[in-house]
Chains A and B, each alone.
Chain A
Amino acid sequence: MLTKRIIPCLDMTEGKVVKGIQFVEFRDAGDPVKLAKKYNEEGADELVFLDITATVENRNILIDVVRKTAQMVTIPFSVGGGIRTKEDMKQILRAGADKVSVNTGAFNNPKLISECANIFGSQCVVLSMDVRKVTTDRWNVFINGGRTDTGVSVIKWAKKAVSLGAGEILLTSIDRDGTKKGFDVKITRKVSQIVSVPVIASGGAGKLEDFAEIILKGIADAALAASLFHYGELRIKKVKDYLQSQNIPVRN
């Protein structure tokens, strides 16, 4: 049976892993390559790298991190941050990443998704969406590192991106990011139900039960967490043991 994935996320800037709360107040969380290697050994199913500043200078640093990580780890990893063109994507894949996540660049130019999917295959193209609840029953897509409300509903953009060829969705709740109050189950469930591709839930993991909840109630295919793992509050193995005790299939 296909197992549910537990994915540590490494938000990076200038070659260092940082972690913020609701996309601000960042603090240093260590060396990305070392962390990647540690998670690889601890049983992570996949890794996600996000370059949160994504300037031209950082791009080269990022490529270097990708190259080094690819040499160290034996599990898949995706890389995102500032991807605007198919050349950006090619460069990252060539450095050894398995998937590339697109966010603002794809929102501003949806053709980027279809172009990349046609060349590299849908499975390489992850749509990363940063979302925030704007009314009781509406979530909007935010771009530019969560700073700009696009006014577009999450459901609408998710459907469109998948029809263009996105092979997976990384759904991050800005409201929950770094708060440890649990994932946003409602929006994850909605997105997971309307799209035919796997959904990775992100933002808000705080305790073991949150992981089971997002998989069972949020119908997430994978759950992502950052600070919990970086600061050693929870170990990947512990999360997986717990999920298994709840009859959720995991790789162990």
Chain B
Amino acid sequence: MIGIIDYGIGNLGSVSNAIKKLSRDFLISDDPSRLLKAEILILPGVGSAREGMKNINKRKLDKFLFEEIKKGKPFLGICLGMQLLFEESEEGDVSCLGILKGKVKKFLIERKIPQIGWNQVRIKSHFLRDKAWAGNYESGIKNKLFTQIPDNSFFYFVNSFYCIPENKSIIAGETLYGEKFASIIVKNNIMATQFHPEKSGKVGFQLLSNFIRKFYVN
């Protein structure tokens, strides 16, 4: 079962549709006790960081996420769901979950904000090689996350802010929008994307499917 976290904002429809297309069971809930049963958690994201954190805290999902991720439950954060993993966001000057070290900043160089549309993701070479997760989860096993994801594939982005992880080695993919930013991060049981894989056509579905297959036994 895949748990899609409902925190009052965000576009659950497109995420759940994508999971349906991949023929996987899911539940949508804002209740930690129900989400506890899920084998994989997805934090989708459309909306503002302030509203997002307010709703997460109100539902006591902050503590739940912190503990579940720490225990090793596979987690996928999408867009705002990626940004909220970090310590703080410039968007509304809000404290976020702090599961990863680093902050979230606004684009400074390009005039048009938000970035809306299809942009390319450069996959970091050490994530494409065998032993991609060396020292991490399942070290030594060929990294299946990027199977059939050609380097420089186009994904759909809608964002004004981006993450700056303190630990650069977790950056698995980078994208250029005036400035270079982390568009995919991977750390142990965490994957997060700044783009929307559920809205990125075939290649987006491939990435979702890779993530689920990597972690899903059933």
Contacts and interface: CB of A to CB of B under 8 A. Distances in A.
B20 A96 contact: no
Given A71-B17, A75-B156, A98 B202 contact: no
B113 A196 contact: yes
A45 B13 contact: no
Band of interface residues on A: 35 or more
A28 to B, nearest CB: 28
A71 B20 contact: yes
B177 A2 contact: yes
B156 A120 contact: no
A119 B92 CA distance: 13
Interface in B199-214: 199-202, 204-205
The residue in A45, A76, A168, A198 that gathers the most chain B C-beta atoms within 10 A of its C-beta is A76
A93 B117 contact: no
Given A71-B21, A124-B47, A222-B117, 5 more contacts: A75-B156, A75-B200, A122-B160, A168-B114, A198-B117
Nearest to A92: B13
Interface string A160-177: 000000011000000000
Contacts of B115: 2
Contacts of B12: 94
A123 B116 contact: yes
Interface in A55-77: 70-71, 74-76
Q: Secondary structure of the A side of the interface?
A: loop
Contact of A123 (B159, B176, B201, B204): B159
A4 B115 CA distance: 11
Interface of A: 1-5, 40, 45-46, 70-71, 74-76, 93-98, 117-124, 167-168, 196-198, 221-222, 251
B114 A70 contact: no
Contacts of B17: 70-71, 96
The 8 closest A-B pairs by CB, nearest first: A96-B13, A251-B118, A121-B47, A123-B158, A251-B154, A76-B199, A2-B119, A74-B201
B136 interface: no
The residue in A74, A98, A121, A251 that gathers the most chain B C-beta atoms within 10 A of its C-beta is A121
Contact of B118 (A5, A117, A118, A168): A5
Contacts of B51: 118-119, 121
Nearest to B157: A2
B48 interface: yes
Nearest to B196: A76
Contacts of A71: 17, 20-21
Contacts of B116: 123, 167-168, 198, 221
Given A71-B17, A167-B116, A118 B48 contact: yes
Contacts of A221: 112, 116-117
The residue in A74, A96, A196 that gathers the most chain B C-beta atoms within 10 A of its C-beta is A74
A222 B199 CA distance: 17
B118 A70 contact: no
B119 A98 contact: no
B200 A3 contact: no
A15 B119 CA distance: 33
